Structure 1
Amino acid sequence: MLAGVLFVAVLGNAAMAVETPAYNEVRRDGDFEVRDYPALVVAEVTVDGGQKEAANKGFRLLAGYIFGANKKRQSIAMTAPVAQQAVGERIAMTAPVAQTQGAVGSWVVRFTMPRAWSLETLPVPDDARVRLRRTRPARVAALRFSGLAKPDDVQRKSSELLAWVASHGLHATGAVTLAQYNPPWTLWFMRRNEVMVEIER
């Protein structure tokens, strides 16, 4: 029985293979990494609620856009991860976490657009809440972990990431972002999650 469940989960993940943003690995230390990302084209929305509620709201709006809720009725391939960041949080390198369990506030939820698309070629969203923009190149510190990314997990991993950043003489310049890579039916121990924070070069 368990073997059958594992087979379906692995097959489902393989079938859902999606594009992820390219980056250059600058440094690796166990589950911690420092990465350089190029400028990326993203679609994002700002939504209110707790961490999970906001993620669900944001995902629905962005999924609507890429599945055809746009002026050209054009589909855009799904990418990973889905990124979520608290709005207005500024994290010093020794501060605790950007996201706390049960915290209600505003969150930016973001999809990175496939590399084949540019701001000039992407269709205009039907919903004005969906914004298209180009990010600037960034260096980030990231910590990978598995599981369901519950608020307590995110809090703990964010604290670990910021402590690692500080202990290595690096300087965080913004809020911690939660990145989730897998579809919701993925078994918890097979999920890839990351907390990420931009750092000074």
Structure 2
Amino acid sequence: MAVAAAGLSFFKLSFLLSLLSGGSNIPDPISRPGLVGKFPPSCNRIECPSYEVIHAGNGYEIRRYEKTVWISTEPIQDISLVDATRTAFFQLFAYIQGKNEYHQKIEMTAPVISQVSPSDGPFCESSFTVSFYVPKKNQPDPAPAKNLHIQKWNSTYVAVRQFSGFVSDSTVGEEAAALSASLKGTAWANAIKKSKEDGGVGSDSAYTVAQYNSPFEFSGRVNEIWLPFQIDI
């Protein structure tokens, strides 16, 4: 039993470290930007937040997520998303392994999200907040932990652009720009702008990167750029 438990912990360690370090330099042989509506394969195996597709546009979709809870690092200053998420990994992996005030082990979930607030210059540090989705059974009373904080999102709309392959510093900015371009001139773009001005979810970040896959999946990988926003109804 001890050997099996150690093996499981090692697998979790490998899984999370890859998610939070940009995966591998091996390219996805079927890498395609601008995917729409592809269900992340990992969500067939582990818990992911549920959502409803409100609208499918040209290269994007609009989703509505119900209330979600995330455990998040404090903002990390770095010039690299890959390096920042690698730094965040150690805190978050320790948390789900039981290094929290409840000494509670937490089940693996997806996606891992990184909220990105870019710098003003090409060689200046940006700010990254990296988060795990808290399983539904833990959401009523999520375990607190030192140097981590809990984010509780009310029902939230998200504009989403999917892309495949392994996440890298060179791709995320391009994908985020492509999402913004595809939304230009739509009512969704106006709603996102207003939500940011009103201090809604994601107002402190330019965009969010969501990563779903195991490092052992070299094809069919699904990543997403998120622009969360609220709509007053």
Distance 1:44 1:185, change over 3 A: same
Aligned to 1:183: 214
Match among 106, 119, 128 for residue 76 of structure 1: 106
Matches within 5 A, 1:97-108: 104-108=125-129
Match among 112, 116, 123 for residue 86 of structure 1: 116
Aligned to 1:111: 132
SS in 2 for 1:194: strand
* Partner deviation per Cα, 1:1-39 (whole Å, 9 max, x = no partner): xxxxxxxxxxxx779921110111101136411011122
Would the aligned equivalents of 1:86 and 1:105 in 2 still touch at CA under 8 Å?
yes
Unaligned runs of 5+ in 1: 1-12, 90-97
Instruction: Tell me by how many angstroms 1:99 deviates.
Output: 10
Asked if residue 61 in structure 1 is aligned to residue 91 in structure 2, the reply is yes
Instruction: Tell me by how many angstroms 1:40 deviates.
Output: 0.9
TM-score by length of 2: 0.67
* Partner deviation per Cα, 1:147-170 (whole Å, 9 max, x = no partner): 112122111111110111223232
Aligned to 1:36: 64
Match among 115, 122, 131 for residue 149 of structure 2: 131
Q: Kindly, what percent of the aligned residue pairs are identical?
A: 25
Distance 1:160 1:149, change over 3 A: same
TM-score by length of 1: 0.77
Aligned to 1:154: 172
SS in 1 for 2:86: helix
Compute the RMSD of aligned alpha carbons. Answer: 2.7
Distance 1:192 1:167, change over 3 A: same
Amino acid at match of 2:144: V
1:54 and 1:136 mapped to 2: Cα distance? 27
SS in 1 for 2:216: coil
Instruction: Tell me by how many angstroms 1:62 deviates.
Output: 1.0
Would the aligned equivalents of 1:86 and 1:108 in 2 still touch at CA under 8 Å?
yes
Amino acid at match of 2:131: R
SS in 2 for 1:65: helix
Distance 1:165 1:100, change over 3 A: farther
1:191 and 1:15 mapped to 2: Cα distance? 12
* Partner deviation per Cα, 1:118-143 (whole Å, 9 max, x = no partner): 242x3332xx2111231222111000
Aligned to 1:93: none
Would the aligned equivalents of 1:51 and 1:103 in 2 still touch at CA under 8 Å?
no
1:194 and 1:153 mapped to 2: Cα distance? 11
Amino acid at match of 1:18: I
Unaligned runs of 5+ in 2: 1-40, 197-202
1:28 and 1:15 mapped to 2: Cα distance? 20
Aligned to 2:20: none
Amino acid at match of 1:68: G
> How many residues matched?
177
SS in 1 for 2:93: helix
1:99 and 1:111 mapped to 2: Cα distance? 27
Distance 1:169 1:20, change over 3 A: same
